[in-house]
Amino acid sequence: MEQIVELMHLQFKQQREEMQAQEQRFRVHTEAQEQRFREQAERQQADMKAMLQLLANPPSSGRVVPPATTSVTATPTFAPFDSTSELWKNYWSRFLTFTRAHAVPDDRKAQVFLTNQSSTVYKLLSNLAA
């Protein structure tokens, strides 16, 4: 009987040590994931600031086109940003590729970007720019 109790204590001790090791691995994994999320949020915030700067001060193309002669060409739509399915970095890269592929002038990129966003993103950017 004493051997059984001793064996049970040994098993309990091993299980406790394994649980502690699992908890430690979980903590390390969680901390690493939180760090990646913080870094991603910082990059997204920097990108958003750059976009707001672009909206506030659009680059000048060096040419002036009077409003009466401005021709507006239809630009195909681009999917709005969805943080649940794509990282901002990847979305922004795709958007820049889209604007180059559709020859969107620099002075129209901000407008094309905004008109292709969800109302939530548009309101967020409007509030940030205000």
Whether pLDDT at 65 is above 70: no
| pLDDT-based confidence at residue 47 (cuts at 50, 70, 90) | confident
Q: What percent of the chain has pLDDT over 90?
A: 28
107 in Cβ contact with 59 (< 8 Å): yes
- The one-character DSSP state at 7 is H
- φ/ψ of residue 61, rounded to 5: -85, -5
pTM of the predicted model as reported, rounded to 2 decimal places:
0.45
Quote the CA–CA distance of 21 and 103 in Å, as a whole number.
56
| Average of per-residue pLDDT values in the chain | 84
State residue 61's pLDDT score.
58
- Residue pointed to by tokens 């820049």: 96
Q: Give the tens place of pLDDT for each residue, 67-117.
A: 554 555 676 788 998 889 999 999 999 999 999 998 888 888 888 888 899
